[in-house]
Amino acid sequence: MPHKGADPDDPPVSGLLCPRVLAEMGAFDAFPPVPGDYQVDGDWTQTYRIWGNSGRFRFQNKDMGCLTVRRVRSAGRIEFFVDRVLVNADGIEHISKAHIECRDDELATLLRWKLEVQFTDSSRCPRPELAMTLEGEAQEGGYLETCQGAQHRLEAPPPCTADWCLADVVQRNPGLDASFTVLEDLSKVKPGHRTARLRADLAEKLAA
């Protein structure tokens, strides 16, 4: 039985948030067309809407910010310039700006990075006491990270890439079967990730 107060016009989401379900929920509305001169392995800028799902199908889903990734290729390396803004329920903004250098390989393996984080209050006034600068550089078997002048070692099983680099990885290498570590937000080590081509039977099921 539906729980008390359930809206029959807004059923709960069940199953995976696959492309078909997301399209029905309106998550892909107003997508801009791909530029005619776009080259996946060239220089590009892509902007993503950060969209939050409340667990319901139609209502209470909302935009929570945006992410812009600019990719520049140079002399055996790939550079990413990242701008991300997250807005919470009280209107407080979490602003991240990053410059990431990676190897020009299948997984955009991390070489070094600089991340600057700022916050505003609900009136969009800066909160300088919450600001943070974080820098990292590859070392054998891991990374040396410097945060507000303090250094510590990140043990990250290779190969390691950043979550903000994955849009580039999957576009350049469709069907890539690889295991890797993700450095989430350039600060949290998340091992045990994998990319692989979706099985044909599962892809058909999700598209049905």
Q: Please say whether the beta carbons of 145 and 134 come within 8 A.
A: yes
**pLDDT above 90 coverage of the chain, percent:** 57
Which of 31, 25, 36 minimizes the C-alpha distance to 48?
31
Q: State yes or no: pLDDT of 3 exceeds 60.
A: no
- The model carries a pTM of 0.85
pLDDT of res. 65 = 93
Sheet holding 178-184, edge to edge: 160-162, 178-184, 188-195
Average of per-residue pLDDT across 25-29: 78
Q: State yes or no: pLDDT of 140 exceeds 90.
A: no
Which of 148, 83, 87 minimizes the C-alpha distance to 120?
87
- Comparing 147 with 207, which gets the higher pLDDT? 147
CA dihedral 39, 41, 46, 50 (to 10 degrees): 130
pLDDT of res. 55 = 80
Q: What 3-state class would DSSP assign to 165?
A: helix
Which token pair is 82?
């990242």
Mean pLDDT, the chain, integer: 87
Average of per-residue pLDDT across 5-32: 75
